[in-house]
Chains A and B, each alone.
Chain A
Amino acid sequence: MFDYAFLILLLPFLSAIVLGLFGMKMPRKVAGLIGTCMLGTLFVLSLYTAYHYFFYTGEYSAMGQTFRVVDGRLSSGVYPTVTVFNLTWLKFTELLTFNIGLRLSPISVMMLIVITTVSFMVHIYSFGYMAERDENYKFEEYEHGFQRFYAYLSLFTMSMLGLVVATNVFQMYLFWELVGVCSYLLIGFYYPKHTAVHASKKAFIVTRFADLFFLIGILFFSFYVGTFNYDLNVNPGLSDKLASIAANPEIAWAIPTALFLMFIGGAGKSAMFPLHIWLPDAMEGPTPVSALIHAATMVVAGVFQVASLFPIYIKFGAIEQLHWIAYIAAFTAFYAAAVACAQRDIKRGLAFSTISQIAYMLVALGVCYAINDEEGGLGYMASMFHLFTHAMFKALLFLCSGAIIVIIGSNFKEYMGGLHKYMPITNACFLIGCIAISGVWPFAGFFSKDEIVSACFQFSPMLGWFMTLVSGMTAFYMFRLYYVIFWGNSYYEQDPENRRRPQEVPFVMWGPLVFLAIISIFAGWIPFGHFVSATGQSAEIHLQHFHFSSVAWFSLLAAAIGISLATWMYMPKHNPVPDMLAKKMPVLHKAALNRFYIDDVWQFFTHKVVFRCFSMPIAWFDRRVIDGTFNFLAWGTQEAGESIRPWQSGDVRQYAVWFITGTVALTLVLLCLI
C-alpha cells in the first residue's frame, strides 16, 4: 500500500539535482516553480500517507510482512511500524550492514507532515521574500541565486525526510550530516556578507563537533549490539540482545554510554547549552530558511533522535541518562528565555525562544521514567505534541518576522514599532503566534506545553515549578517582542518625510502566514495522544476535554502574568521602566544582551586554545623539527661531501704531490719493514 512511498525521498532528490545542475540555465521563476510544485506533490503525498497510516482498515503488506489493521491499528492496539523498503547500502560485515530504507512509525509520519507542511509554506513564501523590490515595495526581479536557493531547499527537504524515516541510526546519521550541510549552505546563502559566512562556518563546525559524539555513540552501539537498528518493534532479536547486554554487569555501561553520546550529537543539532551558540548566529540566513530549518525541522532532529531511541532508554537501563538530558534541557530553557528578554534583533530573539522551546521538548522526554503514560511516560507524547505545535507556530512567527524584515529592511527593533496600523494581517498572525507560544487557552501551545509541565510535575514538583516559571518568561519575552514591533514608538512616524512608509506584504507571503496561523489556533484540538504515545496505545489528553488540573491553572496564571507585565512595560509609547531596569542592573542587562558571554568563551576556546595551542605548535613542529631533522640530514651529507671534495680537485699537480708523497712514504715504510 505504501509502495509509492519511495517517491517521498526520490522526488526532492531529483528536484535538487535538476535545480542544482541546470537551475542556473533556467529562468528564476521556472526554477522556483519546479521546486514548489515538487513540494506540493510531496505535501499531498505525506497527507495521503498519514491518512492511510492512521485510518486505514484492512490488510496490506510491505517487505513481505502483512499487516491487518483496523483504523490503522493492529489487533494489539498499536500502530504498526511499516518498513517500506530497506536496501543494503554498505556492507561492513555479513551481519553489520548499513541500510538505507524508509520506515513509517507514528512519529515519523507525524514528522513527515510537519516537514512537508512547513517546507511547502516556505517554498511559497519565498517567492515573495526572495525578491528584489523598488522604493514602493514593487516587485522587480527574483533575487540572484534564486534557483540555488530552491535547489538547497529541495536538498534539505530530502535530507530531513530521510532522517525521519530512517530505519537505523546510521541512516539517521547520514541524513543528519546532510541536513547539517544544507543548513551550512543556506545560512551562508548571502555569501558576500562576512557575517553570513562566519555564521555558517560556526554552525557547521559546532554541530559537526557534536556529531562526532553521535558517531562514537553509534560505534559503541553497533559494536555491542551488533546492529544499527533501533526499532524494537521490527527487529525481533534486538530486544533480547539489548536485554542480555543490560543484564551483563561487565558491559551494561555500553548502552547508556552509547545513548548519551548519541544525545550529545542531538544536543548539538537541537542547540542545547553549551552547544547552542550556533543557532542565534544562524539567523544570518534568509528568514524562510530560519523558519524551516532553524525553527521547525532540523533543530528538532535531536528531539526526534531521543524520541526514536526512547524505548531503549527506558527499557535498558538508561533512565538516569534520560534525566541528565532533562536537567541540561531545563537549564537551557531557562538560560535561553533569560537571554531572549534582552535581544534587540528580532530574529535572534526568536532564535533564543526556539532554543528554549526545544529544551521544553527534551525536558519532557527526560522526565520520563516508564513507558506507560500514567506511570511516567506522559512526557513522550507531550514532547512530540509540542514538537508538532511548536513547528507550526514558530514557523509562523519566523515567517511574520520575515515579512517585517522585508518591509523594514532591518532586523533591529529600533527601526520598527507601531506597525500594527500598516501591516494588519502580519500583526494578527504574529499575535496568534505569540498567544500560541505563550500557552493561552485554546491555542495550540497551551495543550502541548501543559502536558509537558504536567509530566514535569509527575517527575519532580521542583522541576514542574521551574518549567512553569520559564513558561511565564516565555510569555513575557514573546509579548515584549510583539509590542516593540507592532506597538510603541513608530520609527516611520518619527520622520515620515524621509522614511519609507511600511505596508502589508503581498498575498504570496501573507497566504502562508494565515495558513499557519489557522493551524496554530486549532492544532491543540488534534487528539494527538490518540496517534502518538510512548506505548503506542491510544491516550487521552485531558485538557481537550476541559479537565483543567491545578497545573493548567498555574501555567495559565504564569502566562497571564508574563503577558500583562510585557503589556505594561512595552505597549505604551513611552514607558521608562525597561530602560530604568536596564540602567539599574547594567551588568545583568549587558550580560543578557551579550548572551552571558558564552560565545566569547567558545571563541576563546577555538581560537586561542585549539589554534594557538595545537595547530600552531604542530605546524611549527612540522616545519622546524621534523623538516629540520631531514634538512639536517641532507645538510650533513652535503657537508661531508664538501669536506672531502678538495681531495678530488681535478688539479693534476696536486695529485702529483699526493702521489709522490705517497710513494715516498710507502717506500720508507717498506724500507723500515725490511
Chain B
Amino acid sequence: MLILGQSGRGKTTLLHLLGGLLPIQSGEIRIQDQALSALGGGALDQFRGKHIGIVFQRAHFVQAMSVKDNLKLAQYLPGVKPEVSHIRGLLSRLNLADKLEQKPRYLSVGEQQRVAIARAIINQPSVLLADEPTSALDDENCHAVLDLLEEQASSVGAALIIVTHDQRLKDRFARQITLN
C-alpha cells in the first residue's frame, strides 16, 4: 500500500503513529489484533521491535558495530535470540554475504539500504513500514529498491506500507491513500 502526499501533510507523523513511535491521542491502531494504545513503555518498544519493521529514508546504523552485530542487535533488543545462521542466510539473499564483518560506514549507499531492509525484516514482522525509501535514488535504483521491498515483505508475509511524495511510485501500487 502506498501513502502519498506533499511535504508537510503529515505523512511521517502517520508512519510514526503506525510504528508506535508517537503516542496516539485519539482513535486506535491495531496490529495483529493488538491495540498499540493498550501497550505502554517497554512493552510497546518490544512489540514494535518484534512485529513492525521500519525502513527510514536514509539508512542509519550503530556505527561502532559491524553489519552482523547491527543485525544481531535488531534481534537482541526486542528479546529474540540472535541467530547468526539466519543473518547469514538473509544477507546472502540480498547479495551482502561478504559484508558481514564490515562496519556499515564502509558500505555504499545502495548496500547500506539493503542492510537496512534486511534489518527491518529480520524478525519476520507483520508490518513493514518504509519512509521515503526512494526519494534519493535514480529511476533504475528506485525500482530495484521497490522490487526488493515487495519481495522481502512477501517473503516474510508482511504488509508493506510506503510513505512517499515520489510520483514515480504511483503506478506500481493498486492501493493508495493520498493525504491532502
Q: Do A and B come from one complex?
A: no
